[in-house]
Amino acid sequence: ATPRAADEVVLSADTTVALGRRILGKPSDEKEAAEFLLALGGRRHRVLTCVAVASASGIQCKDSVSTVKFKRLGDAELNAYLASGDWRGKAGGYAIQGPAGAFVPWIQGSYSAIMGLPLYETAALLSGAGVAVREGWT
């Protein structure tokens, strides 16, 4: 890794999906994506996103936990979604901002955190690191 200069700020975030005590990472293939999506169907699950900012003052972290309800998918919906490939590289096999958003009737928490970057928490961390996040707002 390249060392960070004293005046640089580094932002990092990651998201995971938890169904009960089971962590649903990024599916390795279409079969695993189908397993994840079928397991989520008709149930609520948690989406946990942590954001970290490293600056001259150290590393600060904030997390966001949201709850998402996923509808039960019929065979045609599931197969069409899998064929889209949108599940690739997505925790739990879906992204709420993509086509799978149509499978989510209810959320509690932060939509931006479910997408992968909790904006409120990120702005607070960046402000704390001396980054002008609201510069130019009117």
Q: What is the mean pLDDT of the chain?
A: 94
Over residues 96-110, the pLDDT tens digits come to 999 999 999 999 999
Which range (81-85, 112-116, 127-131) has the least confidence? 127-131
Q: Is 7 a catalytic residue?
A: no
Rounded CA-CA distance 38/24 in Å is 12
Can you tell me the mean pLDDT for 78-95?
Answer: 97
Can you tell me the mean pLDDT for 89-93?
Answer: 96
Catalytic residue among 7, 14, 29, 75: 14
pLDDT beyond 70 at 23: yes
Confidence of residue 2 (pLDDT cuts 50, 70, 90): low
* pLDDT of amino acid 125: 95
Maximum CA extent, the chain: 54
